[in-house]
A = this chain, B = another copy of it.
């Protein structure tokens, strides 16, 4: 009997899980062994984490068991942490052992990028995974509880600074403005005492997005109490709050009980550790999504860098592109195993939705601008579609968003 090739997928995020699900469909058990490695025994919806972080959606609603969507008779699932990839030996170093591969899919996801800003790692919280999301939810609630229990009132405990006005920052703000009134009710606090400040180093909000939709988002959030401070870089984060730049040489301390860092995403540090050529943990892949110089390694999701030829700039890392890459990679690996020709990857941008709480959003879908409840509806359709693509109707019914209007 000829030894079957081993296809190893690292990471069960949007890209890795999609690749695994498609591989288990495409490849006959005689063609290859499939192995999936992931830190947790669950997948989580990164694009829903802002809701779990604000506390508007329970974290069990944003995750599901890998075993519920992956056929574990067909795919060997290993719960472990990837430490390094040794490409010259065709093996992966895990915290708990080693793993040989013939074909590798690197889908390890991104990490928070702090750009070397002092104190950010220690004192700010990033919306990166389920563990952090529930910590953020509890952190904010603990500040409110503490404020109310102290005799000498420290108003800054009720100040929340959000660093970054990109998609993550804006979507988190959209949830936060809905959550704060609930917290004020729970802790008998006057809502007027709460401050939500969004600090952004760039001179724009939602860079690259349609200006009309940006205006809609900003005025809605401002109406609900958010103060925007653009062109305002964070210089340092301290236990008291953030020090921001003001004009040429001045700085200002904004005292805040909670600092959320939502301004930077980078690739994965395993990429760097493994000695691959990269830009902040991201690999510029070839037209087939392969690592240059390694015909059997595919890189997808937040670790891969694909150039948009229209703008000559990389596509931003989104769930949409990761899932398309996952599906495409599964097909290309099947082709490689069968000695067939590979297909180029072409990103099919179906649009972008930025939610502003449960009942509002801004969106461009198939080239059309949407705001308000129509856009919010689209957001839920997009969310349910992601579930459908991975787990079919059963997963949509189990984890989907049904309050569509």
Contacts and interface: CB of A to CB of B under 8 A. Distances in A.
Interface of A: 131-132, 134-135, 137-139, 141-142, 145-146, 148-149, 186-187
A134 B138 contact: no
A187 B146 CA distance: 21
Nearest to A134: B145
Contacts of A141: 138, 141-142
The secondary-structure label for the interface of chain A is helix
A339 to B, nearest CB: 43
Contacts of A187: 134
B148 A142 contact: no
Contact of A145 (B138, B145, B148, B149): B138
Given A131-B149, A134-B186, 13 more contacts: A131-B148, A134-B145, A134-B149, A134-B187, A135-B148, A135-B149, A138-B142, A138-B145, A138-B146, A139-B142, A139-B145, A141-B141, A142-B142
Contacts of A148: 131, 134-135
A186 B134 CA distance: 9
The 9 closest A-B pairs by CB, nearest first: A135-B149, A138-B145, A131-B149, A142-B142, A135-B145, A138-B142, A131-B148, A134-B145, A132-B149
A10 to B, nearest CB: 19
Contacts of A139: 142, 145
A186 B149 CA distance: 25
